[in-house]
Structure 1
Amino acid sequence: MAESLFARVSRLLSARVEDNVDAMERANSDGVMRESIREVDRTIDAVRADRERAMTRRLQAARQQEMIARKVEELTGKARFAIENGRDDLAEAALARQVDLEGQSTGLTDVQSVAREEEAKLEESLAALRARKTQMQEALAAFDIARSDASMGGDGGFAQACKIERNVEQAEAAFDRAMAGAGGVGFARGNAKALNGVAELDTLQKSATVSARLAALKQAATQAT
């Protein structure tokens, strides 16, 4: 099974930069760190792509919601026209469709909310990964300086050259914020009787809403005459 994106981010942020530094010292090679930096880059690209997909879902949901709002307004006019022409049955059909569309609009609001939260988490993951990349690049630069110094007979040593402040705690804290609430939530299944009861209540509520709107339109039409 492919490693999930958040698990990949977690692994990269939880890894110690110091471990890569030790590996470079032992092998006298920067290959380990360079490959780690390339992996961070690949993960940044993946996180950015996921963030863009979440943004696209949010914007599409917002556009659909705008279309529904226009359709709902149009259906109100159609229902009013039907009442004025003595076709309460057609007015009721228009209002029933209106209620259905409003339900879809509510669902689209939920889609936007979830997508917005996902965007925020991914943005925080990006910030944490960029901070980790900077730490790695600084350690790599210090290693290269120390190795160059050693080849020229200098005695500064790698430990001295590596005195670069690393904000590991800050990066991990940013990741923790990005991952907060990212886990799935399990919902218990209801029994058939309860589910059927809820469905019946939904039907009754819809009928009551349609009846109330029909009565209001008829009253408005009567007062206008």
Structure 2
Amino acid sequence: MKDTITQRVSRIIAGNMHALVDMAENANPKAMQQQAIREIDNAVTEVRTELGKEKVELHAITKRIAEAKTDHAELLQQIETAVREERDDLAEAGIARQMDIEVQRGVLEEARSLSEADIKKYQGYVDAMLARKREIEEAFAQKEAAAKEVHGSGTAKAAVDRAENAYNRIMGGGAPVTPQRSDDEAALDELAELDRKSRIQSRLSALKSTMKRHD
């Protein structure tokens, strides 16, 4: 699944947007734009689904690590009590259990690092595809004023079919699918845009501060 998502995102980001827009001039620009946006929206939804699963997994791993730490600490107290009572047999059993916990914690810590890396990767995918979506919307908006309407239903349908086939070749996708986007998806897009604007302002402020120190 992860490899499939990576390949799909890569095709979307690497697709020749300018060629797509140029071909749309001889077809139906609106249809081409809508299909391009559908492809991105579907991919964003898919990635966000995997992102949610990964966050749930990370939560479970983190909880298990915390439990392991607590168990390890409690065993230490029990081992110390056994030593004071000169019960080396109990102390040894406690130490053996601690060693098992330490081995498991090592694996859990590694799993947590991998999960955190996947979350960061998936979030990067979402940000990159939303950026691509903005680029496509801006490119089509610039061409819209100069785009010619195709007259005649038969001619228009044929032109749209050619345009859609060309888009599929460029973006590497198959037949277009209907996106399943909810109000939550729209809200997530808005939050992502707000976060992006906030990061832009932070970067601008940092740049101004650096330039001021150098003046």
What's the TM-score once normalised by structure 2's chain length?
Answer: 0.63
In 2: Cα distance, 1:31 partner to 1:14 partner: 21
Report the counterpart of residue 132 of structure 2 in structure 1.
Answer: 132
Moved over 4 A (4+): 148-151
RMSD value over aligned CA atoms? 2.6
Contact kept in structure 1, 2:28 and 2:150, CA below 8 Å: no
Amino acid at match of 2:33: M
Report the counterpart of residue 5 of structure 2 in structure 1.
Answer: 5
User: Displacement of 1:86 after TM fit?
Assistant: 3.2
> Unaligned stretches of 5+ in structure 1?
152-225
Report the counterpart of residue 59 of structure 1 in structure 2.
Answer: 59
Report the counterpart of residue 35 of structure 1 in structure 2.
Answer: 35
Give the SS at the match of 1:4: helix
In 1: Cα distance, 2:118 partner to 2:127 partner: 14
> Unaligned stretches of 5+ in structure 2?
152-215
User: Displacement of 1:3 after TM fit?
Assistant: 7.5
Identify the range of structure 1 (17-26 vs 49-58) with the bigger mean alpha-carbon deviation: 49-58
Give deviations 1:77-132, integer Å, cap 9, x for gaps. Answer: 11222233332112111110011001111111111111111122222222211111
Give the SS at the match of 1:111: helix
Give deviations 1:34-64, integer Å, cap 9, x for gaps. Answer: 1111110111111222222222222222221
Larger radius of gyration: 1
Amino acid at match of 1:144: E
In 1: Cα distance, 2:76 partner to 2:37 partner: 59
Amino acid at match of 2:97: R
In 2: Cα distance, 1:57 partner to 1:138 partner: 37
- Residues 196-211 of structure 1: pairs in structure 2 closer than 5 A: none
Higher RCO, 1 vs 2 (CA within 8 Å, ≥6 residues apart): 2
Contact kept in structure 1, 2:25 and 2:147, CA below 8 Å: no
Amino acid at match of 1:26: N
What's the TM-score once normalised by structure 1's chain length?
Answer: 0.60
Amino acid at match of 2:19: D
Give the SS at the match of 1:146: coil
- Residues 2-151 of structure 1: pairs in structure 2 closer than 5 A: 4-147=4-147
- Residues 146-161 of structure 1: pairs in structure 2 closer than 5 A: 146-147=146-147
In 1: Cα distance, 2:116 partner to 2:73 partner: 27
In 2: Cα distance, 1:29 partner to 1:81 partner: 78
Report percent identity of matched pairs.
Answer: 28
Give deviations 1:148-203, integer Å, cap 9, x for gaps. Answer: 8999xxxxxxxxxxxxxxxxxxxxxxxxxxxxxxxxxxxxxxxxxxxxxxxxxxxx
